Amino acid sequence: MFDILFLGTGASVPSRDHGLPAVLVRSGPDTVLLDCGEGTQRQIMVSPYSFMKVGGIFITHLHGDHFYGLPGLIQTMGMMGRKDRLVVRGPEGTAAAVEAVLSVCPGELGFELDVSDMSPGETVSVGALSVSPFSTDHGLVSQGYIVKEPDVRGKVDAAKAESLGISGRDFSVLEEGGTVNGVSMSDICEPTRKGKVLAYTGDTRPCPSVAEAVKGADVLIHEATYTKSEASKAQEFFHSTAAQAATVARDCGCGALFLVHISNRYKDRNECLKEAAEIFPAVYLPADLSVYKTTKRGIRSV
């Protein structure tokens, strides 16, 4: 089950109420950060979470509002005594950008910084989580990410095991992947519980690669920079409207939709929420520092 902390839900420049793009996703002991706009480390500091627990940071593209918080966060981790390895991934140019910034800042980090570029088709593990990029359409090299929890094996059905003659040391054999009298572990367990799937688009126009990647996601976090009245601007600047985000969620069978990266031009953000809800009712408009949890029954605000 995911905890989702929205650190910044604004677009392009910060405002009094909305920081720049960054979403922290936690599942059990494993935590990843999706994008890292300026001010992200301060936002985490005033949240219930710790940036020292972040195991991986994934950048969608190298526009400043998604990237400029990263060097400062890395340096702060070092000054705070981090020892654990940190994975940093992003599209082509990310590794060079990080290395260029850190090269002009003297001092040793004190921990392993595992930074490299990453392309669609690749997967990296952060603890038990797997993270995979997919292509987006933003006018430069850009990508979104799929974050998957592992599947969880169902509980052993004791009555079924007994009926099949499984007892004592037989369970150890089955746990190690073996069989006993033709019986395997899957034969005596309840159905496997699929791990939750979260999709994060970063900045993008609607495009086939996004639609294909987010199919069936339990949670879709989709940019909604504009409302449909400014659809032409969304198209021109490689962004999406709230209506377009909702259409993707509906057509791709997503469980829930969160709208982020909303332009400061909208003083009443409920315009975006209302527009999306007419198409996809299971839509949320998170505030900065809001936390949501995925549960067996759906989404819960904390």
Mean pLDDT of 187-205: 93
Give 271-299 pLDDT, tens digit per residue. Answer: 999 999 999 999 999 999 999 999 888 89
Residue 209 has pLDDT above 90, yes or no: yes
Give 211-250 pLDDT, tens digit per residue. Answer: 999 999 999 999 999 999 999 999 999 999 999 999 999 9
Residues with a catalytic annotation lie at 65
* Matching residue, tokens 């991986």: 56
What's the confidence (pLDDT) of residue 297? 84
Cα angle 224, 226, 228 (rounded to 5 degrees) comes to 105
Largest CA distance in the chain: 68
Instruction: Map out the domains of the chain as residue ranges.
Output: 3-152+193-301
What's the confidence (pLDDT) of residue 296? 82
What's the confidence (pLDDT) of residue 21? 98
Q: What's 3-152+193-301's CATH class?
A: alpha beta
- Tell me the average pLDDT of the chain: 95
What's the confidence (pLDDT) of residue 107? 82
What's the confidence (pLDDT) of residue 191? 85
Alpha-carbon gap, residue 236 to 36, rounded angstroms = 25
Model-level pTM?
A: 0.92
What's the confidence (pLDDT) of residue 152? 86
